[in-house]
Amino acid sequence: METLELSVRGAGGVAYPVSVGAGLLASALPGFAAQQGASRVAIITNDVVAPLYGRALQARIPGSFLVSVPDGERHKTLLTVQVMNYLHSGRHRMAL
């Protein structure tokens, strides 16, 4: 399997690695997450992609949790991620 490695510049000029290739979701990503030494991994996606790949990816990465936001850039904010992370942490009480 051939993999293309890229360096992408995001907001604020921060560079991050991107790998492109067939089967990377199943083969490379779990190992990458383990190499980072994180005990928990947030998989952040949208309501369109989550049903297609979210649970399968979550099952491959120990300690991961899925955060799904509505589709569209206006919903992908730091506040949205912070609220979802807090809800997942179990440090809150929820009432119906």
95 located within any domain: no
16 located within any domain: yes
Q: Are 53 and 25 in contact (CB under 8 A)?
A: yes
Total domains in the chain come to: 1
Q: Are 50 and 35 in contact (CB under 8 A)?
A: no
Q: How confident is the model at residue 96 (pLDDT cuts 50, 70, 90)?
A: very low
81 located within any domain: yes
Q: What is the predicted pLDDT for the residue at 71? A: 86
Alpha-carbon 51 to chain mean position: 14
Q: What is the predicted pLDDT for the residue at 19? A: 84
CATH code for position 22: 3.40.50.1970
Q: What is the predicted pLDDT for the residue at 48? A: 92
More confident residue, 89 or 16: 16
Say whether pLDDT at 17 is over 50.
yes
Burial, 57: exposed, middle or buried (Cβ in 10 Å; 0-12, 13-18, 19+)? buried
Q: What is the pLDDT of residues 27-69, one digit of tens each?
A: 777 777 777 776 777 788 888 999 998 998 888 888 888 878 8
96 located within any domain: no
Query: 57 to each of 12, 42, 63, 77, how far by Cα in Å?
Result: 28, 11, 11, 22
Nearest CA among 48, 36, 1, 33 for reference residue 20: 1
46 located within any domain: yes
Beta bridge partners of 73: none
Q: What is the predicted pLDDT for the residue at 61? A: 82
Average pLDDT, the chain: 78
